[in-house]
Amino acid sequence: MIDRTLISEERIAARLDELAREIDTAYAGREILAVGVLKGSVFFLTDLLKRLSTPVAVDFLQVRSYAGTSSTGNFELVRDLSSDIAGRDVLIFEDVVDTGLTLRKLLGLLGTRQPRSLKIAALLKKDLPENADLPVDFLGFTIGPEFVVGYGLDLDEKYRNLPFVAIWDPTR
Ligand code: IMP
């Protein structure tokens, strides 16, 4: 069951204000192609994009790597982008970086399509040795290794619409 709130709605909103300012500064004079990784990043992406002054286009892709509360270690591209990213400033939106497998694969895949730049925005990054070398350009919060739900994050499709991030405790 839901154990406790880890990051409140208010803290998320305040951090998104800061991230939007960082992104506007980094992309001054450019246009961003925001790439949302379905489905978990949708809440983060829409709330953050509403705060940006930089012109932005949006596209989505979908990957599969998780079942229940553990990564399967496999990566499958379920739905590809509908846009050509060549020559564009691509900013990938991810909900949480866990092992880093998803983003490593996506950086490899999208990197072959000649974007002008390719950066990462993530709401959460778990503090784990497996993902320590993975550069997240715009990061909301660093968290512990626990499984979390809410604000887009699910457990088998449940809890995505919680307005805050909560820890899931399998023992309760
Ligand atoms: P990675 O490929 O191991 O970095 O895992 C990334 C994906 O696994 C995320 O986009 C999520 O969909 C899912 N995931 C990893 N940790 C959690 C979690 O704590 N709660 C919900 N989903 C998670």
From 130, 146, 91, select the one nearest 155 (Cα to Cα). Answer: 146
Report, as an integer, the average pLDDT of 30-35.
Answer: 98
Q: Which two tokens stand for residue 171?
A: 């023992």
Residue 108 or 2, more confident: 108
pLDDT band of 99, cuts 50, 70, 90: very high
Sign of CA dihedral 136, 138, 142, 146: negative
pLDDT band of 68, cuts 50, 70, 90: low
Token pair 């399998």 is at which residue?
170
CB-ligand 1 contact for 124 (6 Å cutoff) = no
pLDDT band of 71, cuts 50, 70, 90: low
Domain ranges of the chain: 2-168
Nearest residue (CA) to ligand 1, atom 20: 148
Q: Which of the listed CATH numbers 3.40.50.2020, 1.20.1110.10, 3.40.50.1970, 3.40.50.150 matches domain 2-168?
A: 3.40.50.2020
pTM: 0.95
What's the CA-to-centroid distance between 97 and ligand 1, angstroms? 6
Cα gap 31→110, rounded to integer Å: 18
Q: Which of 63, 66, 136 for a ligand 1 pocket mutation test, highest count of atoms within 8 Å of Cβ?
A: 66
Please indicate whether residue 95 is annotated as part of the active site.
no
The reported pLDDT for the residue numbered 69 is 65
The reported pLDDT for the residue numbered 101 is 92
Cα gap 43→163, rounded to integer Å: 9
Q: Which two tokens stand for residue 17?
A: 């204000």
What's the CA-to-centroid distance between 26 and ligand 1, angstroms? 27
Over residues 145-168, the pLDDT tens digits come to 999 999 999 999 999 999 999 999
User: Does residue 45 contact residue 58 with C-beta atoms inside 8 Å?
Assistant: yes
